[in-house]
A and B are shown apart, each in its own frame.
Chain A
């Protein structure tokens, strides 16, 4: 096992990429979780991994964290190979998984102190690291209480803190807010934003499109163990193209005629949300088509409550890419747009 490797690899030509995967394949028995995955991501950013359940997100994180060995292919984390230089990779990463992996019988401070020692800090440095993280994550008040008494959000923040006491270069967050209430989720988001602002590289997997939307600079969509799309949020939205024309009507009986007008102009069948009396359709022609729709609606004397052109939501992008509705499980037909329509 390699114990001391200089950061020689990749340092000659600028910083090594955050991640470099070539032909990465990981299987369990006859199930192939990662199937020749290819990915290169530059350092210093927040990267969100999205994908439907079973797409290989968690397997990817566990492989980066050296918990799983690739069957084939190669994975380098900040220039270090996860198999041959596993020890170096472990010094560079911090992992916060789907569970709050803290010891409930110990206080928050004791938990962080222990993890800091296990990262390699001496006694004094560990104590300092624990104190810094506690105040950074707003846990000062509960620092000396056993964390078995913490709220869900506090526990998850402590777990996040435990992955940070070694000052990692890459923080791995596997579904960091699954199972948290909205307040706890916002607490964790605020913490992650603070870390990103301080320059820590972050990779997160998530079930919530909203979360990727809130936190990530760069998004990678995985399906069937392969990368099917990657880019910034606006690049992804642009790649699936097309803005969306969305309208709503006051009288439910008018939804079908209104949708009929949309279909005539754009030649794509609109998606309907009957409960909200809304219809939306991707419109490659943008504003010109919006104008045409409005004048035809006026000609047919169909009053609409609201009509506008907007960028597709991440959920719609996801649907277009994977043929499935968002990983949060929202059926596309009843999807409620999070953003307001823009005139």
Chain B
């Protein structure tokens, strides 16, 4: 097509989908080729489940269900709150190391930068959800309902993964550096622990209960537990929270990329 040794100028700027694909491919290759990332997250999940199942679990009264059946769906549903710090750090590092500048100097649609990251990080999060669920079964979790119920619950967990991915991307974009991004992402722990995920909200002191009951993680976790038993209680509320978080976080991410 062209002479050897010369490069033609691209006829047009890249499309949004092709650009997002390249951005996603790079983030996925980085994840796959850095095995320590996925190994660490599995080890972390194993230690977490072990501690809660065997160390704290005996002292927690979670109602009629056995504690392992109470714990595992909640942990799978909120796993991204624990792994998402990595997303925020990766985004902050890209900014600090000039990678984001390079992307922004290219004729790439700004939305593709967010979209590509979301696709990649949601995929790695889907992988975390699967491996964590498998660990849960190994620790004695048993499905209370049908396989179809389990699939529905899994799907809802994937929706959460996408939503939290965008939230952590926003943290990475606004943090002044990688350490700060790591620090900011710890706020997710507050939401994960002060919720109905690990202990019933009723068991907390009265002044704490309003926060525990009305923050988004509680309906999200309760919705996954409900879907597992074939009920749809809390699902609408959980999805409404997801929509709200996305509506706030996505424009923030795109605008920040435009200005970064």
Residue of B nearest to A121 (CB): B10
In the complex, chain B residues whose CB is within 8 Å of the CB of A166 = 7, 9-10, 106
In the complex, chain B residues whose CB is within 8 Å of the CB of A65 = 101, 104-105
Q: From residue B23, how far is it (CB to closest CB) to chain A in Å?
A: 8
Q: Chain B at the A interface: mostly helix, strand, loop or mixed?
A: loop
Contact in complex: A118, B104 (CB < 8 Å): no
Q: Looking at B13, B29, B104, B105, which has the most chain A CB atoms within 10 Å of its CB? A: B105
Interface flag for B59 (CB, 8 Å): no
Q: Mark the stretch among A12-20, A24-32, A98-106, A203-211 that contacts chain B.
A: A98-106
Task: Out of B1, B25, B99, B106, name the residue touching A125 (CB < 8 Å).
Answer: B1
Residues in A120-179 with C-beta less than 8 Å from chain B: 120-121, 124-125, 128-129, 132-133, 136, 146, 162-167, 172
In the complex, chain B residues whose CB is within 8 Å of the CB of A3 = 13
Q: Mark the stretch among A85-93, A270-278, A308-316, A332-340 that contacts chain B.
A: A85-93
Interface flag for A66 (CB, 8 Å): yes
Residue of A nearest to B4 (CB): A132
In the complex, chain B residues whose CB is within 8 Å of the CB of A98 = 98
Contact in complex: A133, B7 (CB < 8 Å): yes
Q: From residue A155, how far is it (CB to closest CB) to chain B in Å?
A: 12
In the complex, chain A residues whose CB is within 8 Å of the CB of B102 = 95, 97, 101, 115, 162-163
Task: Out of A94, A103, A117, name the residue touching B99 (CB < 8 Å).
Answer: A103
In the complex, chain B residues whose CB is within 8 Å of the CB of A125 = 1, 8, 10
Give the total of A residues in contact with B, Cβ under 8 Å. 43
In the complex, chain B residues whose CB is within 8 Å of the CB of A100 = 98
Contact in complex: B14, A119 (CB < 8 Å): yes
Contact in complex: B10, A101 (CB < 8 Å): no
CA A36 – CA B232 in complex, angstroms?
62
Contact in complex: A136, B30 (CB < 8 Å): no
Residue of A nearest to B102 (CB): A101
Contact in complex: B7, A106 (CB < 8 Å): no
B1-25, CB under 8 A of A: which get 1 and which 0?
1101111111111100011001101
Contact in complex: B13, A87 (CB < 8 Å): yes
Q: Looking at B101, B104, B107, which has the most chain A CB atoms within 10 Å of its CB? A: B107
Contact in complex: A118, B99 (CB < 8 Å): no
Contact in complex: B103, A118 (CB < 8 Å): yes
CA A133 – CA B8 in complex, angstroms?
12
Contact in complex: A106, B105 (CB < 8 Å): no
Task: Out of B30, B99, B101, B107, name the residue touching A120 (CB < 8 Å).
Answer: B107
Q: From residue A64, how far is it (CB to closest CB) to chain B in Å?
A: 9
Given contacts A103-B26, A120-B13, contact A66 B104 (CB under 8 A): yes
Interface residues of B (CB under 8 A from A): 1-2, 4-14, 18-19, 22-23, 25-26, 29-30, 33-34, 97-99, 101-108, 260
What 4 A-B pairs are tightest by C-beta distance, nearest first?
Answer: A120-B10, A99-B98, A101-B98, A95-B105
